[in-house]
Amino acid sequence: MSDGPARRLYRSRTDKKIAGVCGGLAKYFGIDPVIPRVIWVILILAAGTGLLAYAIAWIVIPMEPA
């Protein structure tokens, strides 16, 4: 087990374009925010499932504490 604090997934308050979902995912995984944004766009254009997934993530993932 790790002794560090548990990581939590939050929507980003500072790195957001629409709702902060991609910025929060990028911070959680330690990657550049462009990567989740490109993945969302590909999912939206591929079958439209990305839009539904983004809406669900927007509702389910809490906003980062101030």
pLDDT tens readout for residues 39-58: 888 888 987 788 888 899 99
- Exposed/middle/buried for residue 44 (C-beta within 10 Å: 0-12, 13-18, 19+): middle
Tens of pLDDT, residues 22-36? 999 999 999 999 999
Residues 6+ apart with CB under 8 A from 47: none
Which residue, 32, 33, 51, is CA-closest to 41? 51
Residue with tokens 């906003």: 63
